[in-house]
């Protein structure tokens, strides 16, 4: 398909127009990007370079590939790229006014309050609170030849979110209902039909939002009154030095967003780690030896830095499968990226999932090689590896995420050994947040019987 320009630069400008192959209006390259993001990104880069455009999910969208362009957008030194308007198009009806959907001074104000829920003392309390739940969840796993890792890890992380984030006692049916609502809300963001047709993703997402709102509003008065060590209570009680606190609406909005971000991204990271540790048993044994050497059945806060091997594997998993596959922004005024004219109102996307596998920046990018982080290959550019984003919107929960992944993996390694057939390759579904279509079936054996 012949290249077309997005918009002509102003007369006399030194800037180049953004070119691309837009495809059909509205649909454009949506299907190709969702079904084969890596091949599509490679072809796009070879044809148009690091800045190009196409129609994606009904929007004229500029995609920026590589760390140099990513830094311009994410660091956002001139405050020209807004997160809220871009994300709102995809997930606004379901996760409205979450921290990622706010911008500039309002975002900074909310982030300062929310930061009180992620202090070192709070993190240590969350970690201590989650340890018994990790043990109960792992002990309930049934070993066998068709143990589906993704499904079980997702259930575990939701249960931990209920314990540590909500601090609410739920029976299994209610926990499953809330989990289903989160799943429906997340999947709605990549719906092809973006209005409420009964039975389709968008309508299910709207219904899920109502379920989540009702749930948190019902429990909010008790959290305001009684406090606690959970995130829900922390957001209800958080206060800046100058006395600013969240309203009830703020707490509900942030809880819905943070819970989605926490349990979905952690599930993807742990599932990816499990896949590559099954494919590379030498790494699984290395990590198990590391945990055994620690001599503790439960990881303590002060032990986090000791699991260096887990840290390397986690970083490589985040490189190979970024849990948040892309970060969108909206240009609030005319600007430029790498010498290309970006008109005001343009949606700009940083594709983390494919940026992390660019051979221009990563040697042998398809290979699982955790040692690349010991060799500091990620330091070739400060934005070569950016699974948590960057700039003002860098993930506020990144330290919690690492703590939770290490806590779960430590106890998992001490209980079980898992494997896949030598020729198995997981079918990665990238139509929404990345996950294995088959649930990642493994042979799970109790460690004592292995």
Per-residue pLDDT, 450: 44
Rounded CA gap, 215 and 131, in Å? 25
List Cβ neighbours of 46 (8 Å cut-off, separation of 6 or more): none
Dihedral angle, C-alpha 110, 112, 116, 118, nearest 10 °: 90
Enter the tokens of residue 348: 């700009």
Query: pLDDT tens digit string along 160-196?
Result: 887 788 888 888 888 888 878 888 887 887 777 778 8
pLDDT of 120 reads 93
May I ask the CATH architecture of the domain 4-449? Orthogonal Bundle (1.10)
Q: Where are the alpha helices (DSSP H) in 65-171?
A: 67-75, 84-95, 104-114, 120-139, 149-160
Residue 427 CA: distances (Å) to CA of 72, 130, 439: 33, 31, 9
Q: Are 12 and 168 in contact (CB under 8 A)?
A: no
Comparing C-alpha atoms, which of 195, 150, 152, 158 is closest to residue 178? 158
Residues 78/31, Cβ–Cβ less than 8 Å = no
Dihedral sign for Cα atoms in the order 292, 293, 296, 300: negative
Angstrom distances, CA of residue 60 to CA of 71, 122, 346: 21, 42, 7
| The pLDDT value given to residue 449 | 47
Domain boundaries, the chain: 4-449
Separation CA 72–CA 52 (nearest Å): 15
Residues of the chain where predicted confidence (pLDDT) is lower than 70: 1-2, 449-450
**H/E segment holding residue 399:** helix 398-415
Convert the pLDDT of each residue in 257-270 to its tens digit: 888 777 889 999 99
What pLDDT is recorded for position 236?
92
Is residue 236 annotated as involved in ligand binding? no
pLDDT at 1: 55
Long-range Cβ pairs for the range 375-381 (8 Å, 24+): 378/315, 378/319, 381/67, 381/68, 381/71
pTM above 0.85, yes or no: yes
Measuring CA to CA, which residue among 249, 45, 62, 255 is closest to residue 164?
255
- The pLDDT score that the predictor gives to residue 171 is 83
């Amino acid at each position: 398909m012949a290249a077309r320009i997005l918009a002509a630069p102003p007369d006399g400008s030194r800037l180049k127009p953004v070119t691309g192959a837009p495809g059909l209006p509205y649909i454009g390259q949506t299907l190709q990007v969702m079904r084969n993001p890596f091949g599509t990104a490679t072809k796009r880069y070879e044809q148009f370079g690091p800045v190009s455009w196409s129609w994606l999910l009904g929007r004229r969208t500029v995609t920026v590939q590589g760390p140099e362009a990513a830094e311009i957008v994410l660091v956002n030194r001139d405050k020209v790229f807004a997160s809220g308007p871009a994300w709102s198009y995809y997930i606004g009806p379901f996760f409205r006014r979450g921290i990622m959907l706010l911008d500039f001074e309002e975002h900074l104000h909310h982030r300062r309050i929310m930061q009180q829920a992620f202090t070192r003392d709070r993190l240590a309390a969350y970690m201590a609170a989650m340890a018994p739940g990790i043990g109960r969840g792992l002990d309930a796993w049934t070993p066998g030849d068709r143990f589906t890792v993704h499904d079980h890890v997702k259930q575990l992380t939701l249960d931990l979110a209920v314990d540590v984030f909500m601090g609410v006692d739920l029976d299994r049916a209610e926990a499953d209902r809330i989990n289903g609502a989160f799943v429906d809300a997340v999947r709605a963001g990549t719906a092809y039909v973006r209005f409420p047709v009964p039975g389709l993703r968008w309508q299910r997402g709207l219904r899920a939002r109502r379920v989540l709102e009702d749930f948190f509003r019902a429990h909010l008065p008790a959290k305001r009154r009684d406090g606690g060590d959970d995130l829900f209570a922390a957001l209800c009680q958080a206060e800046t030095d100058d006395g600013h606190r969240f309203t009830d609406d703020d707490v509900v909005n942030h809880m819905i967003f943070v819970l989605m971000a926490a349990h979905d991204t952690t599930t993807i990271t742990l599932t990816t780690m499990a896949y590559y540790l099954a494919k590379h048993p030498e790494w699984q044994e290395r990590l198990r030896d590391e945990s055994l050497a620690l001599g503790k059945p439960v990881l303590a806060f002060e032990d986090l830095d000791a699991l260096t091997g887990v840290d390397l594997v986690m970083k490589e998993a985040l490189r190979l499968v970024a849990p948040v596959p892309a970060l969108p922004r909206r240009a609030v005024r005319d600007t430029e990226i790498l010498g290309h004219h970006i008109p005001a109102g343009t949606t700009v996307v940083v594709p983390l999932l494919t940026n992390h596998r660019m051979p221009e920046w990563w040697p042998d990018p398809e290979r699982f090689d955790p040692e690349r982080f010991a060799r500091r290959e990620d330091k070739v550019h400060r934005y070569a590896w950016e699974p948590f984003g960057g700039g003002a919107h860098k993930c506020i929960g990144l330290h919690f995420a690492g703590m939770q992944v290490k806590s779960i993996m430590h106890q998992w390694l001490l209980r079980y050994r898992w494997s896949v057939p030598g020729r198995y390759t997981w079918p990665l579904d990238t139509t929404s947040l990345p996950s294995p279509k088959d649930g990642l079936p493994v042979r799970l054996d109790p460690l004592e019987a292995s």
